[in-house]
Amino acid sequence: MHGGDIYSHNKKVIDFSSNINPLGVMPELKEYLIKCFDEVSVYPDIKYRRLKKNIADYLNVEPSQVVAGNGAVEIINNFILFFDRVVVFTPCFSEYVLRAKALNKEVRKFKYDSNFEIAIEELKNNIRPKDLIILGNPNNPNGKRIDREVLINLAVITQEKGAFLMLDEAFYEFCPYDYDSIELLKNFDDICIIRAATKFFALPGIRLGYAKVSANWAERYKEIELPWSINSFADAATEIIFKNKDYIKKSKEYINEERQYMLNILSKIKNIVAYKTDANFILIKLLKYDEDFIYNRLLEKGILIRKCSNIDGLDKSYIRIAIKSREYNDLILKELIDILGE
Amino acid sequence: MHGGDIYSHNKKVIDFSSNINPLGVMPELKEYLIKCFDEVSVYPDIKYRRLKKNIADYLNVEPSQVVAGNGAVEIINNFILFFDRVVVFTPCFSEYVLRAKALNKEVRKFKYDSNFEIAIEELKNNIRPKDLIILGNPNNPNGKRIDREVLINLAVITQEKGAFLMLDEAFYEFCPYDYDSIELLKNFDDICIIRAATKFFALPGIRLGYAKVSANWAERYKEIELPWSINSFADAATEIIFKNKDYIKKSKEYINEERQYMLNILSKIKNIVAYKTDANFILIKLLKYDEDFIYNRLLEKGILIRKCSNIDGLDKSYIRIAIKSREYNDLILKELIDILGE
Provide the sign of the torsion angle of the four alpha carbons A65, B224, B141, B231, taken in this order.
negative
Cβ of B233 and A229 within 8 Å?
no
Determine how β-strand B209-212 pairs with β-strand B191-196. Answer: antiparallel
> Which residues of chain B does A40 touch, with a Cβ-Cβ cutoff of 8 Å?
25, 203-206, 233
| pLDDT at B2 exceeding the cut of 90 | no
For the packed helices B95-102 and B72-80, what is the interaxial angle rounded to 10 degrees? 40
Sequence-ordered alpha helix ranges (H) in B112-244:
120-126, 148-161, 181-184, 215-224, 232-237
Give the chain A residue nearest B8 (alpha carbons).
A45
Q: Which of A142, A86, A138 is nearest to A114 (CA)?
A: A142
Helix (H) or strand (E) holding B165: strand B164-168
- Per-position DSSP letters for B214-235, written without gaps between them: -HHHHHHHHHHSPTT-S-HHHH
* % of chain B surpassing 90 pLDDT: 96
pLDDT band (50, 70, 90) for residue B326 = very high
Distance from CA of B200 to the nearest CA of A (A): 11
Q: Measured in whole angstroms, how far is the alpha carbon of residue A299 from the centre of its chain?
A: 25
Distances B312 to A47, A122, B95 between C-alpha atoms, Å: 22, 50, 11
Highest CATH level, class, for B36-243 = alpha beta
Cβ of B33 and A37 within 8 Å?
yes
For the packed helices B245-266 and B326-340, what is the interaxial angle rounded to 10 degrees? 10
For the segment(s) A6-21+245-340, the CATH number from 3.90.1150.10, 3.40.50.720, 1.10.3720.10, 3.30.43.10 is 3.90.1150.10
Mean pLDDT of B240-244: 98
Can you give the pLDDT at residue A1? Answer: 66
CATH topology of domain B6-24+245-340: Aspartate Aminotransferase, domain 1 (3.90.1150)
Distances B35 to A13, A206, A243, B72 between C-alpha atoms, Å: 21, 15, 25, 26
Residue among A30, A71, A102 minimizing CB distance to B228: A71
Give the chain B residue nearest A26 (alpha carbons).
B41
Determine how β-strand A164-168 pairs with β-strand A131-136. Answer: parallel
Mean pLDDT of B185-212: 98
B60-91 pLDDT, tens digit per residue, is 999 999 999 999 999 999 999 999 999 999 99
**What residues does B282 pair with on adjacent strands?**
B321
For the segment(s) A27-243, the CATH number from 3.40.640.10, 3.30.930.10, 3.30.70.890, 1.10.540.10 is 3.40.640.10
B103-130 pLDDT, tens digit per residue, is 999 999 999 999 999 999 999 999 999 9
B275-315 pLDDT, tens digit per residue, is 999 999 999 999 999 999 999 999 999 999 999 999 999 99
User: Would you list the domain boundaries of chain A?
Assistant: 6-21+245-340, 27-243
- Could you report the average pLDDT of every consecutive run of 10 residues in chain A (342 residues)? 78 92 97 97 96 98 98 98 97 97 97 95 96 98 97 98 98 96 98 98 98 98 97 98 98 98 98 98 98 97 97 97 98 98 92
B205-239 pLDDT, tens digit per residue, is 999 999 999 999 999 999 999 999 999 999 999 99
Distance from CA of A252 to the nearest CA of B (A): 18
What does the alpha-carbon distance between residue A193 and residue A166 come to, in Å, rounded to a whole number?
Answer: 6
Can you give the pLDDT at residue A7? Answer: 83
Give the chain A residue nearest B236 (alpha carbons).
A205
- Per-position DSSP letters for B80-108, written without gaps between them: HTT-SEEEEEES--THHHHHHHHTT-EEE
* % of chain B surpassing 70 pLDDT: 100
Residue among A33, A42, A71 minimizing CB distance to B204: A42
Can you give the pLDDT at residue A5? Answer: 81
| pLDDT at B1 exceeding the cut of 70 | no
Q: What is the ipTM of this complex?
A: 0.96
Distance from CA of B316 to the nearest CA of A (A): 23
Q: Left (φ > 0), alpha (ψ -120 to 50) or beta: where does B90 sit?
A: beta
Cβ of B44 and A204 within 8 Å?
yes
pLDDT band (50, 70, 90) for residue B273 = very high
